[in-house]
């Protein structure tokens, strides 16, 4: 059996202190209108997520989220301030997944960027409920744009707690449909590599001007 040289053993933590690597979540966002049948009105965006702060418990996440944009008033700045003072909320970063078909990949990227641009330009945020009460009792995800790129979305993860009251999401009348490509029929590529996120982006809890 191979054994590390004695002078290197101090660099390896004992088994009880070793943290297993979490597989990144890979799935889809579905944006749909509450006034139309989901089958005919949905827009599908394939994406992946990587943890940036805290334990996201991605192994419990559903593979598809119904994403709703809150349009009753701009909430981005208020959410950013709330997040800065809520260190207990796990955070993650979403990015468009890579699809094997070049055309489908470009459509998927355009759909993701259109969502990010709409949120940024209108100072909106979006929510994605868990819809999995047997696994997660919290509100779900809050999505908002980053300060750096339209190819990234920040996710605040509410595993066991509900969304903040200031969101005012009791009414469904404020949900909108994104005018982005719909019905992509290609599955994500088989790669399960952890998405590459720069350190400055992995620890950014705020949003702002996306480029």
State the virtual CA torsion across 45, 50, 54, 55 in degrees, nearest 10: 80
Confidence of residue 205 (pLDDT cuts 50, 70, 90): low
Residue scoring higher pLDDT (157 or 8): 157
CATH of the domain at 48: 2.40.290
- The answer to the question of residue 8 being in a domain is no
Q: Provide, rounded to the nearest whole percent, the portion of the chain with pLDDT above 70.
A: 65
The residue segments making up the domain with residue 124 are: 23-184
Confidence of residue 48 (pLDDT cuts 50, 70, 90): very high
What CA–CA distance (Å, rounded) separates 87 from 154? Answer: 15
> Which has the closest alpha carbon to 31: 146, 153, 137?
153
Can you tell me the mean pLDDT for 8-22? 52
Domain total for the chain?
Answer: 1
Q: What is the residue-wise DSSP string for 144-158?
A: EE-SS-TT-EEEEEE
**Do residues 91 and 50 touch, judged by C-beta distance below 8 A?**
no
Confidence of residue 194 (pLDDT cuts 50, 70, 90): very low
Q: What angle do CA 39, 40, 45 make, to 5 degrees?
A: 75
Q: Tokens in use for 120?
A: 């940024």
- The answer to the question of residue 102 being in a domain is yes
Can you tell me the mean pLDDT for 199-204? 46
Which pLDDT score is estimated for 16? 55
Which pLDDT score is estimated for 199? 44
Which pLDDT score is estimated for 127? 94
> Would you report the helix, strand and coil content of the chain in percent, each value rounded to 5?
25, 25, 50
What CA–CA distance (Å, rounded) separates 81 from 111? Answer: 28
Phi, psi of 80 (to 5 degrees): -55, -45
What CA–CA distance (Å, rounded) separates 32 from 126? Answer: 12
Distances (CA, A) of 177 to 109, 132, 143: 17, 23, 15
Phi, psi of 113 (to 5 degrees): -65, -35
Which pLDDT score is estimated for 203? 44
pLDDT tens by residue, 54-70: 888 999 999 999 999 99
- The answer to the question of residue 153 being in a domain is yes
- The answer to the question of residue 198 being in a domain is no
- The answer to the question of residue 113 being in a domain is yes
Residues 125-162 as b/e (b if ≥16 CB within 10 A, e otherwise) read bbbbbbeeeeebeebbbbbbbbbbebebbbbbbbbeee
Whether residue 43 has pLDDT greater than 70: yes
> Which has the closest alpha carbon to 80: 89, 71, 69?
89
**Do residues 65 and 174 touch, judged by C-beta distance below 8 A?**
no
- The answer to the question of residue 117 being in a domain is yes
- The answer to the question of residue 13 being in a domain is no
- The answer to the question of residue 202 being in a domain is no
């Amino acid at each position: 059996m191979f054994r590390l040289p004695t002078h290197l053993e101090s660099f390896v933590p004992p088994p009880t202190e070793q943290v297993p690597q979490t597989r990144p979540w890979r799935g889809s966002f579905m944006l749909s209108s509450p006034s139309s049948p989901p089958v005919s009105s949905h827009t599908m965006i394939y994406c992946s997520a990587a943890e940036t702060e805290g334990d996201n418990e991605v192994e419990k996440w559903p593979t598809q989220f119904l994403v709703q944009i809150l349009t009753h008033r701009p909430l981005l700045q208020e959410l950013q301030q709330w997040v800065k003072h809520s260190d207990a909320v796990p955070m993650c970063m979403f990015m468009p997944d890579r699809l094997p078909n070049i055309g489908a990949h470009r459509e998927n990227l355009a759909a993701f960027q259109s969502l990010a641009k709409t949120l940024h330009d209108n100072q909106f945020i979006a929510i994605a409920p868990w819809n999995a009460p047997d696994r997660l009792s919290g509100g779900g995800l809050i999505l908002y744009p980053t300060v750096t790129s339209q190819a990234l979305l920040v996710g605040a993860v509410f595993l066991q707690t509900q969304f903040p009251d200031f969101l005012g999401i009791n009414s469904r009348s404020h949900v909108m449909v994104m005018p982005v490509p719909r019905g992509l029929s290609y599955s994500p590529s088989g790669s399960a590599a952890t998405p590459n996120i720069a350190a400055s982006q992995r620890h950014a809890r705020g949003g702002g001007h996306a480029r």
